[in-house]
Amino acid sequence: MNDFVKAFLLANLLSLVITPVCIKLAPKIGAMDIPKDNRRVHKKPTPRFGGLAIYAGFISTAIFLRPLDRQLVGVYAAATLMLLVGMADDIWDIPAKLKLVGQLACGVILWVDSMQIRGMANFLPIGPEYISFSPAVSLVVTLIWIVAITNCINLIDGLDGLAAGMTLIASMAIAYISIYTNRDITLMLILGVAGACLGFLVFNFNPAKIFMGDSGSNLLGLLLASVSMIGDTPTKSVTLFATILPMIIFAVPIFDTVFAVVRRTIHHRSFLEADKGHLHHRILAMGFGQRRTVLTLYCICAIMGMAGILWTMKLKIEAIVLLLIASVLIFIFLGIRIDEDDLIAAREAAAHVNDPLIQYSSMEEALRAEEAREESMDFFFMREREKDEDAEEGAERDDK
């Protein structure tokens, strides 16, 4: 049994053993997720302290990577800081801006320890093959990359087992690419991530006994963003592995995040304000249960992972075909059609009025909410009746 298999199994075992401890510890320290608004899918208080188990599984990879070089020290230090910031949020619900400061600090640690995006590949037929960045530009680009991927994973953590499962699939795709491109350190680290996710998923899949919380989702986002940057030589291949391939593999959470930003901008809402318009919420609104929704997104993520593998193997036509297939599936489930948007709005309005945990400041506010609910429901059912009438008229024309 080689060290890579040992690292995966050890990370898996530690996560399996420590997760039940986190489940018992969470209520005692206040790390509980209370379903206090209609955005949450779960119905009862649930521990949200899984990040500690995932961290323990990942950190065990240090046993097989001694002595640690500068980059590895940076990865483990940034992961530790991210865990602490996430744990603080799981227990005390710290402000979003403070969490952002923590993410930026982790990015600075990685950059100082030579985990940097030093340039970009030039895919144009003219100019140099590789465009180098100045130190200042490199710092900004690296921070944007770290913060973006970290929040992408955080935003998809909305259903039981979704973030852990998608990270597991993405990690296995990166592991295969690492084998293909002879990146042993990256392979060791990413197998630690995969093993930790698999062990945690035993308790996190629907019905979940524990959530990973911000300590877990932010940690996984940081690790996925940073592990792919292992390497010092500023070449086109390193940039491809560090950014382009992860963008293909993480296409689902990246797209969901971009769509969330656009959606909140259109509705004049803060980027940091949570809502119920994410991809997984829209699939749920189409009648899928939690498990089917999660498995559907697993499949799309697996397609993206395979596309990344094929791209590495220079089978670009095949990779593009898979990307198109996944893009079509995302478009279908996105719920752009008005009837699905109305269903989401109607359900949110109904849940908002009937939720006993929500207190209104005045009777007028409650009446306005009731009117909004009725209008949303009436509009939705009107659209449904129109569709039924159009279908009947079409059938009559076909009979004639």
Q: Which helix (H) or strand (E) holds 225?
A: helix 213-227
Q: How far is the C-alpha of 39 from the C-alpha of 275, rounded, in Å? A: 6
DSSP state of 211: B
H or E element in which residue 33 lies: strand 32-33
Integer Cα distance of 298 and 253 in angstroms: 11
- Give me the torsion for CA of 80, 273, 344, 347, rounded to 10°: 100
Give yes or no for a contact between 61 and 192, defined as CB atoms under 8 angstroms apart. Answer: yes
User: pTM value?
Assistant: 0.78
DSSP per residue over 312-351, as a string? Answer: HTT-HHHHHHHHHHHHHHHHHHHT-SHHHHHHHHHHHHHH
| Burial of 25 per CB tally in 10 Å (0-12, 13-18, 19+) | middle
pLDDT at residue 205, as a whole number: 93
- DSSP 8-state class, residue 240: I
Angstrom CA distances, 79 to 5, 83, 101, 158, 167, stand at 22, 6, 15, 22, 16
Q: How far apart are CA 155 and CA 162, in angstroms?
A: 10
* Nearest to 377, CA basis, from 350, 358, 337, 352: 350
Angle at 296 between CA 170 and CA 223, to 5 degrees: 20
Task: Indicate if the alpha-carbon torsion angle 380, 292, 214, 49 is positive or negative.
Answer: positive
Going through 23-127 in order, the beta strands assigned E by DSSP cover 32-33, 46-47, 119-121
H or E element in which residue 213 lies: helix 213-227
Q: Where are the beta strands (DSSP E) in 117-243?
A: 119-121, 130-132
Residue 347 token pair: 């359900």
**Single-letter amino acid, residue 191:** L
SS3 content of the chain, % helix, strand, coil (to 5): 75, 5, 25
Contacts with 214 (C-beta within 8 Å, 6 or more apart), sequence order: 48, 51, 85, 86, 89, 90, 99, 154
Query: 161 in helix, strand or coil?
Result: coil
Give the helix/strand (H/E) hosting 47: strand 46-47
User: Over its length of 400 residues, how does the chain's per-residue pLDDT go in tens digits?
Assistant: 689 999 999 999 999 999 999 999 999 999 998 876 655 666 788 999 999 999 999 999 999 988 888 899 999 999 999 999 999 999 999 998 999 999 999 999 999 988 888 877 666 677 776 778 889 998 999 999 999 999 989 888 888 999 999 999 999 999 999 999 888 999 999 999 999 999 999 999 988 999 999 999 999 999 999 987 886 444 445 555 656 777 888 888 888 878 777 777 777 776 666 666 677 777 777 777 788 889 999 999 999 999 999 988 889 899 999 999 988 888 777 654 434 444 444 444 444 444 443 344 444 454 455 455 555 545 554 555 566 566 666 666 666 5
CA–CA separation, 18 vs 386, rounded Å?
A: 54
